[in-house]
Homo-oligomer: A and B are copies of this chain.
Amino acid sequence: MKLRENYTCPLELVHDMIRGKWKTIIIFQLRKGKCSFSELHRGIEGITQKMLLEQLNELKQFELVTKKTFEGYPLRVEYYLTEQGEKMLAAVKIMQEIGIDHMLHHGMKDSLDRKGIPY
C-alpha cells in the first residue's frame, strides 16, 4: 500500500486505512489489549506471517496501531491500538454484529458455534 498525502474524501482515506482482508480482523483481535506478534498469528485463523506483518505495518502507517519493541532475547514486541484505533474498533464491533446477524439468518449458525462466537 502506497501512503498518499492527499485525500479529498474522508471515506476514501479510511478505506485505505482498513483495506484488505485482514485489517478489521486484526483490530478486533487487539480489542482486549496488547498482543505479541505470535499471539496475533495464533489468534487469527488462516493468516500467514507475511500478511500479518504487512497489514500491521500498514495499520501503523495510518496510526491505528503502535508497536513497542523490547530489547534482549528472545525478541519480544507488543502491538496495541492507538486512540484512533480504539475508535475504529467501535466501527469494527458494529461490523462484527452485522456479520453475526447475517450468518444467523443465512444458515451459518454452526460456524459460529464451532468457533464459540457468542450471539
- Taken together, the copies of this chain in the complex come to 2
- Find out whether the CB atom of B12 lies under 8 angstroms from the CB atom of A115: no
- Find out whether the CB atom of A10 lies under 8 angstroms from the CB atom of B84: no
- Find out whether the CB atom of A102 lies under 8 angstroms from the CB atom of B62: yes
Residues of A in contact with B, size category: 35 or more
CB A62 to nearest CB in B, in angstroms, measures: 7
CB A117 to nearest CB in B, in angstroms, measures: 7
A13 within 8 A of B: yes
- Find out whether the CB atom of B103 lies under 8 angstroms from the CB atom of A7: yes
Residues of A within 8 A of B (CB): 5-15, 17-18, 21, 24-25, 28, 45, 62-63, 84, 87-88, 90-92, 94-103, 106, 108, 111-112, 114-115, 117
